[in-house]
A = this chain, B = another copy of it.
Amino acid sequence: MTKTGKPSKTGASDSARPAAQPKQPTLKTIAGLTGLAVPTVSRALGGASDISIATRARVRAVADEIGYVPNRAGVRLRTGRTNVISLVLSTEHEMMNHTAKLISSVAAGLRATPFHVIITPYFGDEDPMKPVRYIVETRSADALILNQIKPEDPRVAYLMEKNFPFVTHGRTIWEKDHPFYDFDNHAFAQIAVQEFAARQRKNIVLVAPPRDQTYSVAMINGATEAASRLGLGLTVLSDVHSDVAIDDMGLALSQHLDAGHPVDGVICVSNGSCLAAITALETAGHVIGDTVDICAKEAMPILQRIRSPIITVRENVANAGLFLAQAAMSAVLTPREPPMQFLEVPQTSEN
């Protein structure tokens, strides 16, 4: 809101639209062409049963011919439906690669539907509730997709209370009651520990994401359970600052190593943290695949190649995006159906 900057209102250059608009065809255009009334055209295109099949076909044909597309503003004004799905993202976390993939796969999932994605970023210096409240109050989207979910995420509580359509990428303690997609990080951590056990590793370090995230808790629990069951030592490095997470992760690991703790297995979450781990370990004189193993989620092929013995567990982010898009649309269009939910089972990839 500019309160000082006063736009030129004193008869200055007005917003003359770039002249000579071909003008998009409207329902009126079709009405004129077919000799029908505007509402009839609307209902015909909507497939209403009280319009004869013949008329419906004729209208449809004309509409296709002249390339009619409904005016979004008209629809939105009349129905309150925006045909917009908002993907709410923090701009301050380091897993950007993951984020970008998510964005494009959500967009892909909305292809050939009337829905669009918008990115609603929020910034580290503001309340995460703010963008959510804004979208809901101004109804500038039909549904929200949230990530970075906390167990008792206040955004989720708010949206459930408001009965506003949404999907989470990750779970809350109310997981039964809302749509979500999640990767089973509990299982991932267990698998990782098992892999280490199979390689006779004894002292595992889990480089955990910020502890307030649900998936961090899941990983810690999974790893803890598996380690105690298999009799391995486990250290959880956490409490890193999320804004510069990757560097912090590397640092935390380095400090741990420098303190003289034995380490022969490291679990990490992302490409970035994996790179950080490699650096820290090699600096400390380790050799990946020999004196130590790394188990990482979603290591990109290139990372695999640089230090090939990295144990990799794939996370299908593309699929997540498609699902989230679908689930968001379902939440809007069929709100009484049970929420769409999916838990992705981690799979060790052939290496």
Q: Contact residues of A with B, CB < 8 Å?
A: 1, 6-7, 9-13, 15, 17-19, 22, 24, 46-49, 69, 71-74, 76-77, 79-82, 89, 91, 96-97, 99-101, 103-104, 107-108, 111-112, 116-121, 123, 137-140, 162-164, 246-247, 250, 272, 275-276, 278-279, 282, 301-303, 305-306, 333-336
B96 touches A111 (CB 8 A): no
> Which B residues are CB-close (under 8 A) to A96?
96-97, 100-101
Note all chain B residues with C-beta closer than 8 A to A116.
118, 120, 140
Which 7 pairs between the two chains have the least Cβ-Cβ distance?
A91-B104, A73-B76, A18-B163, A100-B100, A96-B100, A73-B77, A107-B121
Of A272, A302, A334, chain B has the most CB atoms within 10 Å of the CB of A302
Q: A104-B91, A302-B272, A306-B278 are in contact. Are A336 and B99 (CB under 8 A)?
A: no
Contact B6 A47 (CB under 8 A): yes
- Quote the shortest CB–CB distance from A149 to chain B (angstroms): 19
Residues of B within 8 A of A11 (CB): 47
Are B1 and A112 within 8 A (Cβ)?
yes
Q: Decide: A275 near B301, CB < 8 A? Known: A10-B47, A97-B100, A140-B72.
A: no
Give Cα A162–Cα B18 distance, bound, in whole angstroms.
8
- A13 near B333 with CB under 8 A, answer yes
B137 touches A108 (CB 8 A): no
Cβ of A47 and Cβ of B9 under 8 Å apart? yes
Complex Cα–Cα for A117 and B13 (A): 22
Closest B residue, CB atoms, query A275: B302
CA distance A119 to B107 in the complex (A): 8
Query: In angstroms, how far is the closest chain B Cβ from the Cβ of A46?
Result: 7
Quick one: closest B residue to A138, CB to CB? B69
Residues of B within 8 A of A82 (CB): 73
- The smallest beta-carbon distance between A187 and chain B, in angstroms, is 26
**A306 vs B137: C-alpha distance when bound (angstroms):** 47
Partner of A302, one of B112, B164, B276: B276
Kindly list chain B residues whose C-beta atoms are within 8 Å of the C-beta of A13. 333-334, 336
Q: How far is the CA of A278 from the CA of B279 in the complex (A)?
A: 14
Q: Which of B104, B139, B276 contacts A24 (CB 8 A)?
A: B139
- Nearest-Cβ distance from residue A4 to partner chain B, whole angstroms: 12
> Which residues of B are found within 8 Å of A246, using beta-carbon distances?
302
Question: Across the interface, do B100 and A306 meet the contact criterion of CB distance under 8 Å?
Answer: no
